[in-house]
Amino acid sequence: MKINIKATDIELTPAISDYVYKRIFTIEKYFGAGGANAIAQVEVGKNTRHHKVGNIFHAEVHIIGAGLDLYAVSDTEDLYAAIDIVRDEIVRNVIQSKGKHQTLTRKGAEMMKNMMKGIVNGFKRRK
């Protein structure tokens, strides 16, 4: 997986870059064989222009490839917590879309099996 990191209104330190890389790279294991072709666009930054008090950090991830197009965003008071939340949301979305694909595959296989047996809409055809 290729990971592109962009910092907005903060300096991208090696510590932040390493943390983002470690957390986002672990998502690749959920993609299967196509995970090496995926591209992750990660943006981290400070989002305090409209807040009167305190720092609010922003993290967003957009993953394209491996048959998926996933997007997640998080705003919290801690940058590392925002990165963790985004990672967890992306993993949840990957697992959910994988389950939907498997369900559709199984439904298609069941329909083909029933067609071979001569069953249409749950009723067996008369000859």
56-80 tens-digit pLDDT: 899 999 998 877 788 999 998 899 9
Dihedral, 13, 19, 25, 27 alpha carbons, nearest 10: -130
pTM over 0.75: no
Mean pLDDT on 20-29: 88
Q: Which domains does the chain have, with CATH numbers?
A: 2-120 (3.30.160.100)
Most confident of the following: 26-35, 39-48, 116-125 = 39-48
92-113 tens-digit pLDDT: 988 887 766 667 677 777 777 7
Choose among 55, 72, 54: nearest CA to 63.
72
Choose among 103, 116, 98: nearest CA to 32.
98
